[in-house]
Amino acid sequence: MGVKGMLFIIVALVLVEVEVEVVAIDDIDSTQIALDGCRRKCGDVQIPYPFGVGKTVNGTTCFLEKSFNLTCNSSSSSLTSGNVHVININISQGQADMLIFVSKYCYDNIYGNTSVISLPHRLTSSPSFTISSKDNKFISVGCDTYGYLNSFYNNSNYSTGCLTRCYGNTMEIKDGDCSGIGCCEVDIPPRMRNVSTQVGTFQNFQSSLAFNNCSYSFVVKNDNYTFSKAHLENLPYEMLPVVFNWSVGNKTCKESFNRGTNTCKGNSICLDAKSGHGYRCQCKQGFEGNPYHPHGCIDIDECNTRQHSCVSDHNCHNTNGSYICLCPKGQSGNGIKEDGCHKKNFLPHIFIGTSAGFIAILVGTCLLYLTYQKRKLIKLKEKFFEQNGGLILLQQGEESSHTKIFTADKLKKATNNYDENLIIGRGGYGTIFKGVLENKTIVAIKKSKIVDPDQVVQFINEVIVLSQINHRNVVKLLGCCLETEVPLLVYEFVSNGTLFDFIHNENKRNYFNWENRLRIATETAGALSYLHSAASIPIVHRDVKSANILLDEDYTAKVSDFGASRFVPLDQTALATMVQGTFGYLDPEYMQTSQLTEKSDVYSFGVVLAELLTGKKPFSFEKSEEKTNLAKYFLSCVKEDCLLEALQVGILNEGNKQEIVEVAIIATKCLRLTGEERPSMKEVAMELEGIRLMSKHQWVNNGDKNFEEIQHLLPISSSSERYEHGDSSSGHQTTQYDSIMKDQEVLIALPSGR
C-alpha cells in the first residue's frame, strides 16, 4: 500500500470519529430537550419536555400531562395545541407564544351588534395555562368602538376593556399612538382563565363610516403590534402572538415534594407558580438545560464559553456550577485583574508556616483548657447534685420513683439556654420558663432564686411528696434537676394563663361568666382542701392568689407555684416563717403571730373570692382610700348592704343572685381576722360544691323560701351569719364586722412580701 493509500485511510478514520462525536453530541442535545424516541422539533419550533407530540413507538407518552400534548402537522410544519398555533416554548421562563384570532365586527346595517371570540378553551380553561398579564396587552382598534376582555373563573365573571370615540375627527389620530383615539390599550389582570375577547360599536358611529366601518379587539404580546391609521380601514392581521404562562402539577413545591410527585430534576430548583396552580422548574445558577428532563440540568463550562471574569481562558478553571480564576504556575495573586498575578514570594509562606505552628500550639492549649473546664464542670455538677440532696433522693427507693431527675444540659436545651423570650412568669421565688423536652413534651421549668442549705432534706421530701400528688386541680410536678447551684423544678405546662388575667384583662373578661367563676372557685378550694387534709403530709401553700391559679385549655383551674409551701408537721397546727406571701392576700393575723397556718390559706382564698366577685385587684394605690384594700372594701360593702353594686359588671342576673350572695357569705367567713373563726378549706370546698350542685336544679331559683332551705343544707352556714338580699339589718353581725373593719387597717401598713 502506498503513501496515498495510508493517508486516505487515516483521513477516513478521522472523519468517522468526527461523525460519531457529532452524532453523540447531537444525541446529548436531543436528550436534553425531548424524551428518548420523541420528536424534538416541528418546523422551526423546538418541543422541549414536559411538552411532547403523541407517543413513542414503545407506547410511552412524550408529554408530562395531557394539557402538554401537542400536534405537529408534517405538511405545514406547524405545531398546534388543539386548533392553536404554537410558535415558541420557553423552558426557563415557563412561557409559550401562541397565535390567537382577532375579534372583528364590521357594520352591516344592524346597530349595536358585537363580535365575541373565545380564546382556545383547551388553554384558557386548563389551570396549567394562564394569559401573562406582564407580557401582553389588550387592544381595541376603531372609531366609536368598545372592547372587552372577559374571564370566567371560580364561578365568577369579571371583565376589563377600553373604548375609543372619534366623532368623525381624524386629525388627532396618529400612527404609533394608542392612547385612546382610534386605538386604546389596557393592562391584563393576572390569573385570567376561560377568556374571551368582545368588540362592538356605538349606534351613532355613522360619522366614521367613511374611513372606518370595522372594529377590532385582541390580546397581543408586548411590542408585537404597532398601531397605524391605515388599520382603521383594514387591520391586516387575523391572528397575533399571545404569551401564556404554564406550570406543571396541581400542588405547590412543598406539597409535591412531600407526595413524591415533584418533577424537577438534578441541579434545578422548584418555584411555585404565580397563577396559584402548580409549580415550574428552573436550572440553578451555573447550570443549563431542561430541568424537567430525567437528565436534569448540566454544568455550564464558563471557561470554554467565555462566560467568566478571569484575565484569560488560561486563568479560568471550571467547577461544578461555577469557576475560579487561577494564576499561572509559579505565580500568585488575583487572577481576575490585569497584572494581578506575580511571582511567588516565599516570605508569606514562611510567615504562614510560623503562624500555623503558633495556631496549632494555641489550639492545643485551648483544647487542654476546654478539657480541664469540662472535667471541672462535671465535678461542679456532681457537687451541686450532692449539695442539693441528690444522694438523699436516690436513697429514698420506691418513694422517689415518681420523681424524675433531669440533667442540666437537657433543660438548658429545652429552654434554648434560658432564652428570655421563653419566660412565662416571674415571682418572688424565681423565674418560670416554657420548655420543650426531647420527646416534644411542653413543660414549665422553674428556676429558683435562693435555696436554704439547712433545709435540703426537707426540700427533697417536699419534691417527693409533690411529685406524688395526682389531683386534677393541682399542677403536676414532673421532676427536678439538682446539677445546678439552685435546683430546677419541672412542672406540667398549663396553656391558658392565670385567673388574674381573666379577671382583670378586659379582652378575656367578656368570656368569663359567673358559672365559670363559681366552678373555678370550687375547683381551687377542692385542691387546697386536698393539700391541707388528703395529702400524705399536710401542705400549706402560703401564697394563694389569682396569679397562682392557672387555667388549662378547658379553663380547668390548676393551683400552682409551691415555692413558698411548707409541710405542716402532724403534731403542729402552725408554722413559724419569715415574712413572705403577696401583699393584699396576706393573712393579717400573721403580723401578730409570725405564723402561717392552714387558715392563712383560707384567708388568701377569701381574697380570691372577693376578687372573683368584684373584679377588683387585691391592693391598688390608684383607687380611693376606702377601695385601696380589697378585703376591707369587700367587707364594708357586705356590712353596708351594697354588695350587688360592688359586683363586676356582667356577672349578675336574676338567675344567679342567690348564688352570688352565698359565695359572698363564704368569702366574709374566710376573711375573719381570727384564724380560729375561719372555716377549714374542706368546709369551704364542700359549701361551694353544694352551691354548684343546688344551682343545677330548677327548684333552687324558686324564690327566697328555697334560698333559706339551701342555707340549712350547706354545712358551714348558720342563720345568724346569712346575708339575705333586702335585709341588711337582721342578716349581719354588725359588731363583728366593725371589729373586722377596724383590724383590717393593719394590712395597709404591711410591706409587700413579694
Q: Give catalytic residue positions.
A: 543
For 551-594, the DSSP string reads: E-TT--EEE---TT-EE--TT-SEEE--S-S-TTTS-TTHHHH-
- Cell numbers found for residue 254: 412543598
379 annotated as ligand-binding: no
How many angstroms separate the CA atoms of 101 and 197, rounded?
Answer: 9
The answer to whether 282 and 92 have CB atoms below 8 angstroms apart is yes
- Helices 598-614 and 657-670: crossing angle in degrees, nearest 10, is 150
Phi, psi (rounded to 5 degrees) for 385: -60, -45
CA angle 723, 724, 730 (to 5 degrees): 75
464-486 burial: b if 16+ Cβ within 10 Å, else e: bbbbebebebbbbbbbbbbbbee
Tell me, letter by letter, the H, E, C secondary structure of 610-654. HHHHHCCCCECCCCCHHHCEHHHHHHHHHHCCCHHHHCCCCCCCC
How many angstroms separate the CA atoms of 492 and 473, rounded?
Answer: 12
Among residues 279, 276, 274, the alpha carbon closest in space to that of 253 is found at 279
Residue 585's Cβ-count burial label (10 Å; 0-12, 13-18, 19+) is buried
How many angstroms separate the CA atoms of 496 and 563, rounded?
Answer: 21
- Cell numbers found for residue 615: 373584679
The answer to whether 541 and 559 have CB atoms below 8 angstroms apart is yes
Beta bridge pairs of residue 629: 619
For 66-87, the DSSP string reads: GGGEEEEETTTTEEEETTEEEE
Q: Radius of gyration (Cα) for the chain, nearest Å?
A: 44
CA distances (Å), origin 287, targets 241, 268, 313: 30, 8, 19
Strand, coil or helix: 747:
helix
How many angstroms separate the CA atoms of 744 and 628, rounded?
Answer: 12
Binding site as annotated, residues for ATP: 447
Binding site as annotated, residues: 447
